[in-house]
Copies of this chain bind each other. A is one copy, B any other.
Amino acid sequence: MSRFETDTALRVRSDSTTYDVMLDPGWSIGERPNGGYLLAILARAALATTGKPSPLAVSAHYLRAPSSGPAEVRTELTRSGRRVSTARSTIWQGDQPYIDALVTAGELHQAPVEWDDKTEPVMPPPEECELAHNPHVHISLFEQIELRVDPSTAPFPAPNGDPSMRFWFRLADGSPPDLLSLLLAVDSGPPTVFHLSKFGWAPTVELTVLLRGLPAPGWVKVESKTSTVADSWFDETATAWDSTGRLVAQARQLALVGEG
């Protein structure tokens, strides 16, 4: 088992819809577990409840920031179909829900892409990219993943104020990517609004990820960009391609501009 699998593992209770999980401090930014790590746990519970192998669409609303340590995932099957099933999946600590998600699951196959818009960005190979780090905050997440940033999109802020980033992603223990670790990949980069000098903790309120293909082994390429900053809010769209150049995940989030 990879470290990622171990740290997102669930133990089902006798009601068969509630799961115990240990939120591991190894996937955090400062004291806060990464949103993509939490998304993977929510999706894993939904897969167990629906009995389907592949998450297709995962929509999470972040209510409160959980702490590392024990938590439970409560699930509710809302549709059980031949092709797709849907569940609600919620992380609880104590008597409060922390992240609430809806997950539609089915089965992705090794099917060829029928059409794509060919927007995969060109970027230097991983060995010519820079390992992400942050001098201000301890990011234990960066010990579990290797995130190599295209030097033309780093460091912050971008001189031209373009809030976009490109980076390579892989698990540090060398495990190949799967659908659940793609949920981590698309939320693993720093907020692109840092390029606009809007630094500080930028809490995500909503994050939806569409999973579009089973990733091939190797590095995952991610491009993230902000389209609009207004009224204290920004969006961030992150797209992931596998090592064969296939689009495998599409994410978008709404987050609050940091104040600090």
On A, residues with C-beta under 8 Å from B are: 56-57, 59, 61, 63-64, 78-79, 84, 86, 88, 97, 100-102, 104, 108-109, 111-117, 119, 161, 163, 196, 205-206, 208, 210, 212-213, 225-233, 235, 239, 247, 250, 252, 254
Contacts and interface: CB of A to CB of B under 8 A. Distances in A.
6 contacts: A63-B79, A63-B86, A78-B100, A86-B100, A115-B196, A208-B252
A228 B113 contact: yes
Number of copies: 2
B229 A114 contact: yes
A201 B208 CA distance: 24
Contact of A119 (B112, B227, B250): B227
Given A113-B230, A116-B229, 5 more contacts: A59-B208, A78-B100, A114-B229, A213-B231, A227-B250
Contacts of A100: 78, 86, 88, 102
A252 B254 contact: no
